[in-house]
Amino acid sequence: MSCVTRDDYQSAQEKAKALLRRVLPPAQWRAFASTGRVSVLGRSFRYDIDCVGRTALYDHWGVRRGVACLQLAAPAPAYDRVLAEYLILINDERFYLRTANVVRDPLSFRELVLIAVVVASAVFAFLKFLAE
């Protein structure tokens, strides 16, 4: 019989943290050390991989568009999950988006108003065209 002790858990966390530090570029490691997040700029989104929460997706204007959740199929420390997400994202963003569970944020009131204005303008232009 074996059981996981607190020392084992801390040792695993420390090892995973050391590996993450080795893999991340120095600037990204410093950002991670101060914020707990690794930021990756992809083609579709900017991804903020969070050590304790889900990965936040931002569009290129900096507006949050949703969250993504990706898990390792085997148990591993949180730092390992951050490392896995980072390596997958910088190598194959499309695979990441296909595999992760992505939950999009609902549109904001401002965006809904903007869409309503655009649709109303199009309808108005169409009706004007029919009337002429």
Partner 1 sequence: MLRSLRKLSSRGDDTVAEWDPQTLTPEDLARIDAEFRRLQAEGYFAFDITDGRNVRADRFNPQADLLMIPRVVGG
Q: Cα(41)–Cα(2) distance, rounded to whole angstroms?
A: 42
Q: Of 101 and 121, which CB lies nearer to partner 1 in the complex structure?
A: 101
Tokens coding 80: 């390992």
- With binding defined as CB under 8 A, does residue 83 bind partner 1? yes
- With binding defined as CB under 8 A, does residue 100 bind partner 1? yes
- With binding defined as CB under 8 A, does residue 99 bind partner 1? yes
Element (H, E) at 55: strand 55-58
Q: Figure out which of the listed residues 7, 61, 75, 131 binds partner 1, where binding follows CB under 8 A.
A: 75
- With binding defined as CB under 8 A, does residue 92 bind partner 1? yes
- With binding defined as CB under 8 A, does residue 52 bind partner 1? no
Task: Single out the segment in contact with partner 1 by CB under 8 A; choices: 44-52, 57-65, 93-101, 120-128.
Answer: 93-101
Task: Single out the segment in contact with partner 1 by CB under 8 A; choices: 39-47, 70-78, 105-113, 117-125.
Answer: 70-78
Query: Would you give the DSSP letter of residue 11?
Result: H
Per residue, the 3-state secondary structure of 94-132, as one string, reads HHHHHHCEEEECCCCHHHHHHHHHHHHHHHHHHHHHHHC
